[in-house]
């Protein structure tokens, strides 16, 4: 009995300890479209009591990784840029929504908006992906 | 007896729970020049067993924040871009070196190189700063 | 008899010698939405016989400038990034479509797609704007 | 009698009509290091009488293209970002200095500073290159 090959984003998220340790919740996992949320914790604050940019980037990056791993080959982030628009702090619930902008050969561009309270934009992120020849690792057998 | 006003980066790092929780060590804290290191932990790995981009960004972002907070006013990150050049994994020791590129009025550009094993470049980060009118918060009295 | 104050993009384009000298045609000039086209000329080719990136950037930048100059104050480009996806060459008709992504205070982010033959994406551009206190210059009296 | 294969940047600049039509002068053409200057003309001004960003980008992009075409294979710009720091205008002499930041496999990052009057920074540009398998075209036989 053969196991169907996993789509990248499913196998990836099953194993992703980083996103799990940050308390991220995946609300949508579709090719080219992902929604992930995370509540800001005290240990995510910088010295000015606002959310450290690294954690906002991490949330957006996870949404980007889900949206771009839509095949049976590993897709990696080649790079990304982020613009910080509003500070946030502990206890706030951030949501990152990633959408495919364009694909061209093995390269892709994905836009991720990070919002708080459902409508205020906290950050805008643009990710550049590159699809490799590596097959997606099989699921864990737990 | 008056306490001297802290330079931003000193007060900031004394309070920075995010960088502390990620195990970052500050090796250099000078105006326009910072060096910070971090050992990659298992809970920083993504689903492909490589360091989640968010943690590499966080390391570079902390080095950037130290380098740009060189006055008694709070300087914030307006945005940043990062290029990922080599994957890393658990147990590796990453070092981020931030240097001022240019200042123009309240805006600054800082370049951060992230290396592993002292010479291999893992990522290149460019941060854009904006200095505010806010005074740096006083040190904690512990 | 008073002359109505011009919206920035109208006064700006009336005077814009650079866009005119490159043969750009403005098809749409609305707040947050602009469409501009340009036919690639022989003197826009680089040494590999493809359109020099500077001219693709210039086309996208003009569309961005129109979309963001939607008030009676001058809005300037603080910066932009561009990704080149397909080479083009002499005789091809390029179209840049700029759309507002988000505004936050005096800052804005605009996305510009450059296409050829109406559907193939040649480049993606993201512009960062900053609105100043400077009033838009009056129209020329020709 | 065989003709030596040209290094990319030499063959490229010999044919580059775009840079020539903009009046660019190449002062330095070395692997990983290029210096190019250009005098701003009236037909390079936008509607606010400042140099259109496209021409500043074009100058930096040419310096980047020279610095990265250091082999017998064509190297292309995958993308770039630019930050505009000071406005300039007609008659000013702009100089772009490109330096290799890092190479990793077929990818490279180059930083280009654009200055006026030799010391004031007008713009900062970061270019991302990708080396192809295409051989550099032979020199023109004039």
Answer whether B127's CB lies under 8 Å from B64's CB.
yes
Mean of pLDDT values over A89-96: 98
- Stated pTM of the model: 0.93
- Edge to edge, the sheet with strand C33-39 lists C25-30, C33-39, C93-104, C107-116, C120-135, C73-84, D73-84, D120-135, D107-116, D93-104, D33-39, D25-30
Contacts of D141 by beta carbon, 8 Å cutoff, 6+ apart: none
- If pLDDT is split at 50, 70 and 90, which confidence band does D137 have? confident
D141 occurs within a structural domain: no
B2 occurs within a structural domain: no
Strand partners, D25: D37
Which 3 state secondary structure label does DSSP give D105? Answer: coil
Phi, psi of D4 (to 5 degrees): -60, 140
B62 occurs within a structural domain: yes
Tens digit of each residue's pLDDT (9 = 90 or more) over B70-91? 888 999 999 999 999 999 999 9
Mean of pLDDT values over B111-125: 94
What span, in angstroms and rounded, lies between the C-alpha atoms of D92 and D113? 16
Nearest to C86 among A81, A85, A104 (CB): A104
pLDDT of D3 above 50: no
B140 occurs within a structural domain: no
Hunting for tokens 């280009």 — which residue is that? D112
Answer whether B55's CB lies under 8 Å from B44's CB.
yes
Query: What is the model's pLDDT at position C138?
Result: 67
Angle made by CA atoms A25, A29, A34, in degrees to the nearest 5: 80
Answer whether B110's CB lies under 8 Å from B52's CB.
no
Answer whether D102's CB lies under 8 Å from B122's CB.
no
The Cβ of residue A26 has, within 10 Å, a number of other Cβ atoms equal to 17
The least confident of A124-133, C4-13, D41-50 is C4-13
pLDDT of A141 above 60: no
Phi, psi of D21 (to 5 degrees): -65, -20
Candidates B46, B71, B74, B81: best to mutate against A (most CBs of A within 10 A) is B46
Residue D125 has which token pair?
């540009």
Report the 3 state secondary structure along chain B. CCCCCCCHHHHHHHHCHHHHHCCCEEEEEECCEEEEEEECCHHHECCCCCECHHHHHHHHHHHHHHHHCCCCEEEEEEEEEEEECCCCCCCCEEEEEEEEEEEECCEEEEEEEEEECCCEEEEEEEEEEEEEEEECCCCCCC
ipTM confidence score: 0.92
What span, in angstroms and rounded, lies between the C-alpha atoms of A78 and B86? 10
C119 occurs within a structural domain: yes
Q: Structural domain tally of chain B?
A: 1
B126 occurs within a structural domain: yes
Query: What is the model's pLDDT at position A3?
Result: 47
Phi, psi of B18 (to 5 degrees): -65, -50
User: Which residues of A touch chain C, with CB atoms under 8 Å apart?
Assistant: 81, 83, 85-86, 101-102, 104, 107, 109, 111, 113, 121, 124, 126, 128
pLDDT of B134 above 70: yes
Which candidate, B15, B13, B6, B2, places its Cα nearest to that of B140? B15
Answer whether B80's CB lies under 8 Å from B126's CB.
yes
Nearest to A78 among B45, B78, B84 (CB): B84
The least confident of A14-18, A78-82, D9-13, D73-77 is D9-13
Tens digit of each residue's pLDDT (9 = 90 or more) over B54-71? 999 999 999 999 999 988
C6 DSSP assignment: P
The Cβ of residue D107 has, within 10 Å, a number of other Cβ atoms equal to 18
Which 3 state secondary structure label does DSSP give A71? Answer: coil
Which 3 state secondary structure label does DSSP give A27? Answer: strand
B89 occurs within a structural domain: yes
- Is the pLDDT higher at C2 or at D137? D137
Q: Do C81 and D80 touch (CB under 8 A)?
A: yes
**What distance in Å separates residue D123's CA from the closest CA in chain B?**
10
Mean of pLDDT values over A55-73: 95
Using CB atoms, which chains have 3+ pairs under 8 A with C? Answer: A, B, D
With contacts defined as CB-CB under 8 Å, which chain B residues touch C81? 81
Contacts of A41 by beta carbon, 8 Å cutoff, 6+ apart: A23, A90
Q: Do B83 and D109 touch (CB under 8 A)?
A: yes
CA dihedral defined by C43, C45, C46, C47, rounded to 10 degrees? Answer: -90
D98 occurs within a structural domain: yes
C44 DSSP assignment: G
Tens digit of each residue's pLDDT (9 = 90 or more) over A4-56? 556 788 888 888 999 999 999 999 999 999 999 999 999 999 999 999 999 99
Residue A53 has which token pair?
């940019």
The kind and range of the H/E element at A58 are helix A53-68
- If pLDDT is split at 50, 70 and 90, which confidence band does A126 have? very high
| Helix, strand, coil tally for chain A in percent (to 5) | 25, 45, 30
Candidates A77, A79, A126: best to mutate against D (most CBs of D within 10 A) is A79
Task: Provide the residue range defining the domain that includes D74.
Answer: 8-135
Q: Do B53 and A49 touch (CB under 8 A)?
A: no
Average pLDDT, chain C: 91
**What distance in Å separates residue B121's CA from the closest CA in chain D?**
8
Residue D32 has which token pair?
């990983």
What span, in angstroms and rounded, lies between the C-alpha atoms of C36 and A123? 28
* A87-91 contacts, C-beta under 8 A, 24 or more apart: A87/A48, A87/A50, A87/A51, A87/B76, A88/A40, A88/A50, A88/A51, A88/A56, A88/A116, A88/A122, A89/A40, A89/A45, A89/A49, A89/A50, A89/A51, A90/A40, A90/A41, A90/A42, A90/A44, A90/A45, A90/A49, A90/A51, A91/A39, A91/A40
User: Which residues of B touch chain C, with CB atoms under 8 Å apart?
Assistant: 79, 81, 128
Whichever domain contains A24, its CATH number is 3.10.129.10
With contacts defined as CB-CB under 8 Å, which chain B residues touch A20? 43
- If pLDDT is split at 50, 70 and 90, which confidence band does C59 have? very high
- Is the pLDDT higher at C96 or at D14? C96
Query: What is the model's pLDDT at position C1?
Result: 39
Query: What is the model's pLDDT at position B139?
Result: 57
With contacts defined as CB-CB under 8 Å, which chain B residues touch D85? 102, 104, 107
The kind and range of the H/E element at C64 are helix C53-68
Residue C56 has which token pair?
């693709």
Q: Where are the alpha helices (DSSP H) in D16-86?
A: 17-21, 53-68
pLDDT of D78 above 90: yes
User: Rounded to a whole number, what is the distance in angstroms from the first to the last CA of chain B?
Assistant: 18
């Amino acid at each position: 009995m053969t196991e169907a090959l996993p789509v990248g984003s499913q196998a990836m998220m099953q194993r992703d300890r980083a996103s799990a340790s940050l308390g991220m919740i995946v609300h949508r996992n579709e090719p080219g479209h992902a929604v992930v949320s995370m509540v800001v914790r005290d240990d995510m604050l910088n010295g000015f009591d606002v959310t450290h940019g690294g954690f906002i980037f991490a949330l957006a990056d996870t949404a980007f990784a889900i949206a771009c791993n839509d095949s049976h080959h590993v897709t990696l982030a080649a790079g990304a840029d982020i613009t910080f628009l509003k500070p946030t702090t502990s206890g706030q619930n951030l949501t990152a929504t990633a959408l495919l902008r364009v694909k061209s050969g093995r390269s892709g561009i994905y836009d991720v908006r990070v919002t708080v309270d459902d409508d205020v934009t906290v950050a805008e992120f643009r990710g550049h992906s590159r699809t490799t020849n590596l097959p997606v690792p099989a699921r864990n057998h737990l």
